[in-house]
Structure 1
Amino acid sequence: MTTDAWQQARAALVTWWRRVRPRQAGRVDAALVESRDRVLTARRAGDEDAESHVVAAWGSRLTALLRDDPALVDGLRRLIEEEIAPLLGHESGARTGSHEFRAEASGHGRVYQSGRDQHIHGP
């Protein structure tokens, strides 16, 4: 959120949101700008965890959107893979945040968890 690619990533997300939820796009754009401002202000105050918290909040927001409309999953995946991920420069930048996974399976259930890419091939 504090890199030069931020404006491009924000524009891509807002454009996508405008296609899937046009009435919400303006509010989403304003919320993204506010989120970035919050992170920058917190960093100046020495709070290095602020970005992780904001990113987690946006993750929750996107998860709720997908829960309400699962048909959006493929479009969001394409947006992330084709437009946003290339802006991140995976090899050059440090990642922020952490993930905690918890799962419980019973009977013959299986649990597959991953913090990044996971490829599962049929039986």
Structure 2
Amino acid sequence: MELELAALAGVAASTVVGGMATAGWESVQRAMGELWRRVHPERADTVVAELGEARAEVLAAREHGGEAAETAEQQLVGEWQARLRRLLVAHPEMVPEIQRLVDELRPPAAEFGSRAPSVTLTANASGNSRVTMSGRDINITKG
């Protein structure tokens, strides 16, 4: 279950960070604020403020472009993934809410024209490591 929660948190974090620099920013901010108000109402305003700070970072990074922008966004995705994973571990009943958030905020495929966006995944492993990568849904069972 921990892997599934981490995967969902990762997808949600990518969706949230990706939406920070789009016209859908208000939807991202509202959805995340509502989510936090359900489980930690005392922290919701702080989370919304931190989203605003993260958005400013994304916009500044995109303005400069290049590899630095990509790195900045990846770091923000990692930060929000960790937050969302902790939220899901503490409140697994929020899984449907997080999935709804992802479905609501993810741009429709029509916005990408006839070609869906590409996903590039890179992993390095050594020894007895196991790497599992997915560009979307994944189910993992121990075998």
Question: Fold conserved (TM > 0.5)?
Answer: yes
Please give the residue correspondences for 1:25-44 in structure 2 after superposition, counting only pairs within 5 Å.
Answer: 25-44=44-63
Q: 1:107 matched to which residue of 2?
A: none
Q: Secondary structure at the match of 2:77?
A: helix
Aligned residue pairs, count: 111
Aligned equivalents of 1:56, 1:36: Cα separation in 2 = 14
Please give the residue correspondences for 1:62-101 in structure 2 after superposition, counting only pairs within 5 Å.
Answer: 62-81=84-103, 83-85=104-106, 88-93=107-112, 94=117, 98=121, 100=123
Residue-by-residue CA offset, 1:5-37 (whole Å, 9 max, x unaligned): 111121112112112211110011001000000
Q: 1:108 matched to which residue of 2?
A: none
More helix by share: 2
In structure 2, the gaps of 5 or more residues are 1-19
Change over 3 Å in CA distance of 1:113–1:96 after alignment to 2: closer
Whose radius of gyration is greater, 1 or 2? Answer: 1
Higher relative CO (Cα under 8 Å, sequence separation at least 6) belongs to 2
Q: 2:9 matched to which residue of 1?
A: none
Identity of aligned residues (%): 35
Moved over 6 A (4+): none
In structure 1, the gaps of 5 or more residues are 105-110
User: Is residue 2:75 matched to residue 1:53?
Assistant: yes
| Alignment partner of 2:35 out of 16, 25, 33 | 16
Q: TM-score, normalized by length of structure 1?
A: 0.71
